[in-house]
Structure 1
C-alpha cells in the first residue's frame, strides 16, 4: 500500500476562538493530502478537470483525537482504503509534531462528467490512473 505524507504548518487564520484548529480546516488538509497523494502517483486533478471530469466528495468522515494549535506543524498521511474502478475511498491520519494522532478520517469520491454529473469509469477513461490506484491500494488486475 502506498502512503503519502504532506506537511502542513498551522496558520493563525485556521484557528478558532479557543486557539485550536477550527474543525473544518482538517477537511482542507485532507484535500491537501489527497492532492499530494495523486501527484506522487504522477497524476493531476487539474488535468482531469481540463478533460471535463470532476471528482466530488460523496461521503466524508472525520474523528478528532487531539487539537492542533497555531505555530505547530502537522503531517497528513493519505492512502487508498477502497477502490472499485468508480469509487475511491481515501484514508487519512493527521499527526502532530510528536507523531500523535490528531485526526483519523476518510473521504469517498466518484468521477463524473462536469456538464451532467453522469458517472465515469476511471478504469475506462484513465486506464493508467486506474492501474496506479490498483497498485497503490495493494491489489492488481
Structure 2
C-alpha cells in the first residue's frame, strides 16, 4: 500500500485563542495530503478540472486525538482506502514530529461533470489514474 507524506509547518494564523490548531484547519491539511498523493502518483487535479471534471467531497469523518501548536510540524499521511468506478475514499493520519497521532479521518469523493454535477465513471474517463489508485492500494 502506497502512503504519501507531506510536511506542513503549523502557522500562527492556523491556531485559536488556546494556542492550538483550529479544528477546521485539519480539513485543509487533508486536502494538502490528497493533492500530494495525486501528485506522487503522477497526476494533477487541476488537469482533471481542465477537462470539465471535478471530484467533490460527499462524506467526511474526522477524529481529533492530540493538539498541534504553532511552531510544530504536522506530518500528513494519505492513502487510498477504497475505490470503486464512481467514488474514492481517502484516509488521513496527521502526526506530530514525535510520531504521535493528532488527527485521523477520511473523505469520500465522487467524480462528476463540472457543469451538471452528474456522476461519471472515474475508471472509464481516467483509466490510467484509476489503475494507479488500484496499484497504490496493492490491488494490482
User: Same fold, TM exceeding 0.5?
Assistant: yes
User: Normalising to structure 2: TM-score of the pair?
Assistant: 0.99
Task: Provide the residue aligned with 2:51 in structure 1.
Answer: 51
Deviations 1:86-108 (A, max 9, x none): 11000000000101000010000
CA distance in 2, matches of 1:111, 1:137: 19
Deviations 1:65-117 (A, max 9, x none): 00000000010000011001211000000000101000010000011000100
CA distance in 1, matches of 2:21, 2:35: 21
1:49-88 equivalent positions in 2, closer than 5 A = 49-88=49-88
Deviation at 1:22, TM superposition (A): 0.2
Root-mean-square deviation (CA), in Å? 0.5
Q: How many residues align?
A: 140
Task: Provide the residue aligned with 2:90 in structure 1.
Answer: 90
Instruction: Kindly report structure 1 stretches of 4+ aligned residues shifted beyond 6 Å.
Output: none
